[in-house]
């Protein structure tokens, strides 16, 4: 916790004071600031007002009367002079400790540095070893304890946006290509707010400003595949960080909540989704306090207002379940504590539907994501809840079978034409393809989890690494390796064949078209797990009918991640090295089987 020298006796940080909540004064970050993801500090007080500074109260003492006499003016002047001296010394100390490359201060209007993840510790670009270090308990997720940099705290007069003609094409891009499937905002309401912003400068406020920024950021990053350090996207992200406190406190309508959910969408597609996890927890608490999980809040609303209110809740519900399963952390919204109906099977405007451009195929994507989120919650319950740890093996297997059946029933609701990579790319535009790929990967992650073959689970990883032992596979110089020795290996899990099929589909969708950086990082954990599964399947069954297809998918996927790795870090993803070693064993087994078949042909 950063504390000004004059305020060391104060009991609460700035954020807790502004929210009028109790501060536990934990260092370096109090619990409330950690929860809301804001910087924990006590700001230097400078006399910017013409009024006399109020008296500085003595340290709190329960025996001291609540009211105290005012401090004499001469004492106030002495205190102010002392504060000015302390602030000058602190500023000098900061300059002395600043690295040489940062010694010069930015000019006015350029006081925020170009964006890189090191400027945002919660969403920093983790090195490969940070992200997928084999020693990490959650190698798919990086954690950062540092607070938000003070360079992104919102100040007066900082609510700047591009000109309206420059901004409108990006807003239209967002609503046409993304919001029609993930209806976070109601377009007419948003456009009215946008026009009011530009027509009434005196009424501009941080939360509508942040809403415009989050729409721009999603348009830049998710749709246009803009790199994270592009100045336009970087400025949007800085603006969103600076408005976080205002978003948490906004109670006029759902706009602050909608912006927070947009930030979750934005930050879950990075190398470190920890900020998304923090934000979704805060968002769900806001949702519960606003009564969104209950039908009672719909009383008296028009049909369009009620529909948008429900859509906001279900978007948050899906994000909550996605990130809970991804992080093995409890989800916030319990099914037993909501009574909303799921999204309708059909809507007049087609919002949430994926529609083919070549035939009549039509699919309610939004409803399917909500239905899958319910199953994700069930999978989380049987695997990671405290109650699940007390179940016998038989009870656990029964519960897993129920989830398997739920996933099977869910899959039958998807049109067969959209269950292949070729069908998706022939019928859909890029954004629906990316959304469908993400949905399939979330389904696949459920299968990975319940069958214990997720590549970030230590037991499965230990079994995979057994193939690298010379006691299991003898490597030979001619790359015609020895047969796999199974005596020390546990059997492959049940449902293996089904998982292999869906892993193949996942990599086919990934490699059949151009992917955005956002989409790659959003699906990275499932993609790498699918890669490992296909390699293990070749090692175990080196003569199966899809050998050539799978080897091509493996080569393309490894090449894609090697390219991404070279951009993100000088280190190497831990699992990429494992995949490379497995690939050598897989090719050795295919060569062995080819040699056996050739000898059999000659003998015949």
User: What is the rounded CA–CA span in Å between residue 421 and residue 441?
Assistant: 13
Examine the pLDDT at 122 and tell me if it is beyond 90. no
Q: Which of 501, 523, 309, 314 is nearest to 408 (CA)?
A: 501
> Are 511 and 439 in contact, with CB atoms under 8 Å apart?
no
Least confident piece of the model among 41-55, 112-126, 580-594: 112-126
pLDDT for position 512? 93
Burial class (CB in 10 A: 0-12, 13-18, 19+), 26: middle
Kindly indicate the confidence band of residue 53, based on its pLDDT and cuts at 50, 70 and 90.
Answer: very low
* CA gap 559, 543 in Å, rounded: 24
CATH class of 2-47+72-98: few secondary structures
CB 215 within 8 A of CB 262: yes
Question: 550 is written with which tokens?
Answer: 């799978």
Q: Are 354 and 169 in contact (CB under 8 A)?
A: no
Q: Where are the domains of the chain?
A: 2-47+72-98, 117-341, 412-603
Secondary element (H or E) of residue 353: strand 353-355
What is the average pLDDT across 332-345? 91
SS3 3: strand
pLDDT of residue 113: 31
Note the pLDDT of residue 251.
81
Mean pLDDT throughout 16-40?
75
Task: Convert the pLDDT of each residue in 71-116 to its tens digit.
Answer: 455 554 554 554 455 445 434 433 443 444 333 333 333 333 333 3
What does the pLDDT read at residue 92? 47
- pLDDT band for position 247 (50/70/90)? very high
Q: What is the pLDDT of residues 574-587, one digit of tens each?
A: 788 899 999 999 99
Does residue 523 carry a pLDDT above 90? yes
* Whole-number pLDDT of residue 70: 42
Give residue 1's pLDDT: 54
**pLDDT category of residue 36 using cuts at 50, 70 and 90:** low
Question: Are the C-beta atoms of residues 546 and 552 closer than 8 Å to each other?
Answer: no
Write out pLDDT tens, residues 498-508: 999 999 999 99
Q: What is the pTM of this model?
A: 0.75
33 or 519: whose pLDDT is higher? 519
Instruction: Tell me if residue 125 falls in helix, strand or coil.
Output: coil
pLDDT for 488: 84
- Residues 6+ away with beta carbon under 8 Å from 236: 213, 214, 216, 217, 220
């Amino acid at each position: 916790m950063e504390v000004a020298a004059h305020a060391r006796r104060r009991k609460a940080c700035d954020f807790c004071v502004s929210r009028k909540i109790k501060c536990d004064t934990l260092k370096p970050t109090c619990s409330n600031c950690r929860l809301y993801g804001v910087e924990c500090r006590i700001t230097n007080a400078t006399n910017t007002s013409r009024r006399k500074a109020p008296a500085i109260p003595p340290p709190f003492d329960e025996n001291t009367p609540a009211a105290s006499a005012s401090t004499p003016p001469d004492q106030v002047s002495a205190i102010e002079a002392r504060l000015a001296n302390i602030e000058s010394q602190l500023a000098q100390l900061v300059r002395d400790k600043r690295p040489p490359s940062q010694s010069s201060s930015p000019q006015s209007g350029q006081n925020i540095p170009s964006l890189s993840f090191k400027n945002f510790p919660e969403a920093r670009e983790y090195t490969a070893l940070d992200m997928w270090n084999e020693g990490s308990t959650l190698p798919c997720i990086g954690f950062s304890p540092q607070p938000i940099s003070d360079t992104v705290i919102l100040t007066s007069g900082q609510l700047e946006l591009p000109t309206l003609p420059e901004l409108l094409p990006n807003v239209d891009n967002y609503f046409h290509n993304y919001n029609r499937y993930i209806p976070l905002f109601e377009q007419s309401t948003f456009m009215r707010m946008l026009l009011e912003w530009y027509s009434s400068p005196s009424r501009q406020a941080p939360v509508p400003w942040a809403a415009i920024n989050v729409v721009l950021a999603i348009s830049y990053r998710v749709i246009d595949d803009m790199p994270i350090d592009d100045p336009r996207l970087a400025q949007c992200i800085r603006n969103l960080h600076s408005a976080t406190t205002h978003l948490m406190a906004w109670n006029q309508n759902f706009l602050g909540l909608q912006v927070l959910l947009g930030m979750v969408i934005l930050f879950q597609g990075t190398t470190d989704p920890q900020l998304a996890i923090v934000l979704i927890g805060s968002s769900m608490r806001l949702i519960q306090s606003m009564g969104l999980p209950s039908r009672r809040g719909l009383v008296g609303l028009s049909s369009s207002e009620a529909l948008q209110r429900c859509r906001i809740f279900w978007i948050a519900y899906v994000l909550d379940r996605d990130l809970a399963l991804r992080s093995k952390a409890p989800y916030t919204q319990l099914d037993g504590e909501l009574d909303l109906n799921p999204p309708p099977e059909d809507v007049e405007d087609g919002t949430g539907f994926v529609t083919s451009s070549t035939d009549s195929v039509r699919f309610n994507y939004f409803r399917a994501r909500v239905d899958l989120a319910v199953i994700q919650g069930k999978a989380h319950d049987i695997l990671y809840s405290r109650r699940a740890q007390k179940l016998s093996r038989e009870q656990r297997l029964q519960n897993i079978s129920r989830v398997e059946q739920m996933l099977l029933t869910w899959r039958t609701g998807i049109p067969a034409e959209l269950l292949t990579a070729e069908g998706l790319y022939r019928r859909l535009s890029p954004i629906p393809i990316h959304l469908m790929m993400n949905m399939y990967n979330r389904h696949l992650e459920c299968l990975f989890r319940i069958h214990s073959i997720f590549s970030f689970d230590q037991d499965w990883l230990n079994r995979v690494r057994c193939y690298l032992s010379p006691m299991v596979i003898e490597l030979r110089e001619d790359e015609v390796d020895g047969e796999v020795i199974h005596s020390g290996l546990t059997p492959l899990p049940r449902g293996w064949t089904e998982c292999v099929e869906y892993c193949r589909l996942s990599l086919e969708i990934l490699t059949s078209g151009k992917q955005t950086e956002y989409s790659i990082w959003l699906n990275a954990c499932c993609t790498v797990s699918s890669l490992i599964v296909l390699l293990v399947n070749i090692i175990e069954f080196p003569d199966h009918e899809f050998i050539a297809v799978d080897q091509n998918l493996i080569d393309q996927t490894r090449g894609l991640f090697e390219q991404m790795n070279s951009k993100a870090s000088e280190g190497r993803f831990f699992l990429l090295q494992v995949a490379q070693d497995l690939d050598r064993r897989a090719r050795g087994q295919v060569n062995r089987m080819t040699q056996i078949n050739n000898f059999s042909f000659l003998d015949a």
